[in-house]
Structure 1
Amino acid sequence: MSVTAVDINCDMGEGFGQWQLSGTDDGKIMELISSANIAAGFHAGDPTLMDATVRLATQCGVGIGVHPGYRDLQGFGRRRIDSNGDEIINDIVYQIGALREFARRYGAHLQHVKPHGALYMELAANEALSRSFVRLMQTVAPNAFVFCMDISETYRVAMEAGQPTIREFYADRDYQRSGSIVFTRHANKLDPRAVADRVLRACETNMVRTIEGEEIRVAFESICFHSDTPGSLEIAGALRETLISNGIRIAPVSEIVTRKSHLE
């Protein structure tokens, strides 16, 4: 079934103190997306930046999500941390609570939780950790969406538990035949038009070509790109323009999920 309405999400607020990601422009990108995954201090972000990013999201009418990661500022949360499950879950609790209070400050609510980087990939493959994560969500944020890949353990466990979920298509990452993304730490500069055309094809056919040259099916309600991908602002603009010009609406995740439930 082709996609007629889709969310666009992006990782935001990924600086720290005086340090900002080179080439990113959260203010302009925020105007082009519908969901923001906001760093909460462990892989990036600090209280002042969290406050500013949440405030910007509310001004732009963008859904607010927390982007919890491993406690790894030096590695930007892209290194797997060998820690026990309780420590990881407690770190997620801490980050959810921090970002939610900034949202509350501006009269907003926590729309979703999307783990970051290496933690996202670990949850995708680790059933036990995903079960702990979903149990946590059902306790502290039962109405918040979990953002994840459709082939992940996270998605399977969340669906079993009845936790709201949003599946993602990665605009600026390659896919393997398994349906998982290629977890790259440094993406090269991409052609925004080629990225947009690839996303449009996925929306129209639910298919994507893998690095092995095969076509696989992928199901999603949201399109993700990264603010630290070189040319991210141009990618955001090309994505939005291409989708809208081809009759695909950019919509809040709550509207997309409600519409999907009526169709099923």
Structure 2
Amino acid sequence: MTRAGKTIDLNSDLGESFGAWRMGDDEALLAVVSSANIACGFHAGDPDIMRRTVALAARHGVAIGAHVSLPDLQGFGRREMAVSPDEAYAMTLYQVGALHGFAQAAGTRLRHVKPHGALYNMAARDRRLAEAIAHAVRDFDPSLRLFGLAGSALVEAGRAAGLAVAAEAFADRRYRADGSLQPRREADAVIAESDEAIAQAMAMVREGRVRAVDGEIVELRADSLCVHGDGAHAVAFARQLRAALQAADIAVAAPHAMEDAA
């Protein structure tokens, strides 16, 4: 539920370090968010980072999800590739299975799956890719929730496959009039000012709408807000956003916790 006085999920993309290279302050973000999308080695992360991030998320009581991607370490999964639905199915299943192993070894479990970057945006508009990803999630574990862009083909495919879904919105990304995200390659696609991003997030949560780059008002119903973990001010922004939500009497909890409390 996403109206004032209700509850919304805060998710962040984590576990994106690799080898000796470090990205973001995952532990600090895990004290703020309610869901963690953990990289599975295709766009970022490695086995040791996956293991550590799962353990950190479990320690903080944060819902664990597989952040599945195109196989593109150099491009951080943000470059589109011509993949078939069969390939999308296989790479999704492979990555979910890998993170599941670490979760099981840590005595916890996966709660959701969220595609990353280019794969996320491709599946938002390509029904066949969206169906392939949804079917891979369902075939692995039909109790997993599928995260996708609010109003997109991925959310529709998840529902059609019988999965629980979380319609996602982005506090710090600009939107087009069709409800899609403005591509990162375009100038000003990311909102740099915290106050502006928080105002956009609050409008999405309380009013169910967002102002597109052309000024048009887009109706948008969100179950989860994404806060990116890779910026210099990511932790400070996440804390500000959570404080703003709580000041507006909007609680923060993972989707499965909302259902358990209902």
**Bin for the TM-score computed over the shorter chain:** over 0.9
Correspondences of 1:105-116 after superposition (within 5 Å) = 105-116=105-116
Residue in structure 2 matched with residue 184 of structure 1 by the alignment: 184
Q: Distance in 2 between matches of 1:62 and 1:143?
A: 17
Q: With structure 2 as the length reference, what TM-score do the two structures score?
A: 0.93
In 2, are the aligned partners of 1:51 and 1:102 still within 8 Å (CA)?
Answer: yes
After TM superposition, give the deviation of residue 194 of structure 1 in Å.
2.5
Unaligned 5+ residue runs, structure 2?
Answer: none
Runs of 4+ in 1 over 6 A off after TM superposition: none
Residue in structure 1 matched with residue 3 of structure 2 by the alignment: 2
Amino acid corresponding to residue 106 of structure 1 in structure 2: A
* CA displacement, residues 24-63 of structure 1 (integer Å, 9 cap, x when unaligned): 2111111000000000000000000001100000000000
Residue in structure 1 matched with residue 159 of structure 2 by the alignment: 159
Amino acid corresponding to residue 157 of structure 2 in structure 1: V
Q: Distance in 1 between matches of 2:165 and 2:258?
A: 11
SS of residue paired to 1:226: coil
Q: Distance in 1 between matches of 2:150 and 2:191?
A: 26
Q: Distance in 1 between matches of 2:39 and 2:183?
A: 19
Unaligned 5+ residue runs, structure 1?
Answer: none
In 2, are the aligned partners of 1:192 and 1:234 still within 8 Å (CA)?
Answer: no
In 1, are the aligned partners of 2:173 and 2:181 still within 8 Å (CA)?
Answer: yes
Q: Distance in 2 between matches of 1:54 and 1:207?
A: 33
SS of residue paired to 2:110: coil
After TM superposition, give the deviation of residue 115 of structure 1 in Å.
0.4
Q: Distance in 2 between matches of 1:189 and 1:209?
A: 13
After TM superposition, give the deviation of residue 257 of structure 1 in Å.
4.8
Say if 1:165 and 1:188 are closer, same or farther in 2 by CA, change over 3 A.
Answer: closer
* CA displacement, residues 78-131 of structure 1 (integer Å, 9 cap, x when unaligned): 001122222222111111011011111111111000000000011111111212
Residue in structure 2 matched with residue 92 of structure 1 by the alignment: 92
Percent of counterpart pairs with the same letter? 35
Q: With structure 1 as the length reference, what TM-score do the two structures score?
A: 0.92
After TM superposition, give the deviation of residue 197 of structure 1 in Å.
2.2
Correspondences of 1:136-147 after superposition (within 5 Å) = 136-147=136-147
Say if 1:257 and 1:220 are closer, same or farther in 2 by CA, change over 3 A.
Answer: farther
Residue in structure 1 matched with residue 198 of structure 2 by the alignment: 196
After TM superposition, give the deviation of residue 160 of structure 1 in Å.
2.0
After TM superposition, give the deviation of residue 188 of structure 1 in Å.
5.7
Say if 1:188 and 1:135 are closer, same or farther in 2 by CA, change over 3 A.
Answer: closer
In 1, are the aligned partners of 2:204 and 2:222 still within 8 Å (CA)?
Answer: no
Q: Distance in 2 between matches of 1:157 and 1:14?
A: 27
Residue in structure 2 matched with residue 132 of structure 1 by the alignment: 132
Q: Distance in 1 between matches of 2:87 and 2:169?
A: 29
How many aligned residue pairs are there? 258
In 1, are the aligned partners of 2:35 and 2:254 still within 8 Å (CA)?
Answer: yes
Residue in structure 2 matched with residue 17 of structure 1 by the alignment: 19
| Higher mean C-alpha deviation, range 168-177 or range 187-196 | 187-196
Q: Distance in 2 between matches of 1:189 and 1:159?
A: 30
Residue in structure 2 matched with residue 74 of structure 1 by the alignment: 74
Amino acid corresponding to residue 2 of structure 1 in structure 2: R
Say if 1:215 and 1:64 are closer, same or farther in 2 by CA, change over 3 A.
Answer: same
In 2, are the aligned partners of 1:197 and 1:242 still within 8 Å (CA)?
Answer: no
Q: Distance in 1 between matches of 2:114 and 2:190?
A: 24
Q: Distance in 1 between matches of 2:231 and 2:215?
A: 23
Residue in structure 1 matched with residue 26 of structure 2 by the alignment: 26
